[in-house]
Structure 1
């Protein structure tokens, strides 16, 4: 039996993900091979079935495995490195274009999430929302929590390309240039933070109700508002 480290603060599911990733990326479990059965993983790592299923779900979202009903989960070939370079987004025009791009991408991701999300994924979105609320008055933490909220929604879409795309952008996609923002639109402003929190809550609530159209509309409103908060050149 292989014990997982329970003191990292990352949770057992993520610890199991890391162990399995090491085996996949290290070639111990080659592309095309089947992952050990749920019962075998439970016994080997001394974890519950819930932990195993959550870990496999995260590996699926990362594009490392594919699961077939009644057959199990199989390791996929490692994806080639992407040529997309989000670090080149620096100008004010780039930021406006990025928000337009996000509206198109994240609106549909939220609609899919409303249809496809699991209870585990819904709870992950809720936890990210709570973390964002607790970050009031701490802009750095708020940006990280904001990004995590949007990334969890992408994961709940059930389409790994949404997760990979937002993951490649990273927290920088949340950071609006301060030189273009009115002081009342800073994350340190309590009124503005309350408005953004409410927008996030509307997205979460629509996904929780499995209302795809409301989820799409809530994301569009949130990101459109973010765009309007930027001063025009």
Structure 2
């Protein structure tokens, strides 16, 4: 007796695992963007109390879960803060020119990328201080010199800056640091572009700050001081993030 074989589906997609249907941008994303725009353009100023969840629901004609999702993202990005029993308030306003270099969703992604980089690259720098070889340190110095050369020629030098950070990741001795940064390449470059574009009018000051911050990282690496390298790298990236959100 011959075995019966299961009939193949006429449409190959019928055998695929069931997934949620493709959707347009989520309502939470749209609400998030509109609140950010109101903060950036000054409609909601720093220190202002945000409308209640019910007020936002009426304003945007969406449900409470949608509003809560948008507010959670705003808190995660450091733009608003919640006060017990009082509501949510604008914590800081991203600089007005930020949206010239991308929409509010892109701006939020840049801020989240900086937050992740602070954690990731801080540890990479600490490990690099403890583990780097003479060849590693030479590569880091050369990348830093290339940053200086680009600045002296009046260029933004984003490629050189990224190479400096990648050289440190490689020197950590753990390939996952560099591989993760490669995966984040586009987001990292977007962040570098934005930070530089926002400080174009202060080129000399930007160059001075970059040299000082890179110099502090490099000195800690050369001294094999892991704690100091971690602090210097975290401070460097945190300062770049602060320039984007306009923090004092």
2:208 matches 1:194: yes
- C-alpha separation between the residues in 1 aligned to 2:221 and 2:162? 17
- C-alpha separation between the residues in 2 aligned to 1:178 and 1:112? 27
Contact 1:182 1:231 in 2 (8 A): no
Contact 1:114 1:208 in 2 (8 A): yes
2:221 matches 1:207: yes
SS at match of 1:210: coil
Alignment of 1:1-233 (within 5 A): 91-136=106-151, 137-139=154-156, 142-170=157-185, 172-176=187-191, 183=198, 185-186=199-200, 189-231=203-245
SS at match of 1:176: helix
Q: How big is the shift at 1:134?
A: 0.3
- C-alpha separation between the residues in 1 aligned to 2:201 and 2:223? 28
Alpha-carbon distance change, 127 to 96 in structure 1, aligned in 2, over 3 angstroms = same
Alpha-carbon distance change, 91 to 171 in structure 1, aligned in 2, over 3 angstroms = closer
Structure 2: unaligned runs, 5 residues or longer: 1-103
RMSD: 2.6
Larger Rg: 2
TM-score (norm 1): 0.56
Structure 1: unaligned runs, 5 residues or longer: 1-88
Q: Which moved more, 1:105-114 or 1:163-172?
A: 163-172
* Number of aligned residue pairs: 142
Q: 4+ residue stretches of structure 1 with deviation over 6 A?
A: 177-182
Contact 2:113 2:187 in 1 (8 A): no
- C-alpha separation between the residues in 1 aligned to 2:148 and 2:105? 28
- C-alpha separation between the residues in 2 aligned to 1:199 and 1:102? 16
Alpha-carbon distance change, 195 to 112 in structure 1, aligned in 2, over 3 angstroms = same
- C-alpha separation between the residues in 2 aligned to 1:153 and 1:207? 9
- C-alpha separation between the residues in 2 aligned to 1:180 and 1:151? 18
Alpha-carbon distance change, 205 to 117 in structure 1, aligned in 2, over 3 angstroms = same
Q: How big is the shift at 1:169?
A: 2.1
SS at match of 1:189: helix
TM-score (norm 2): 0.53
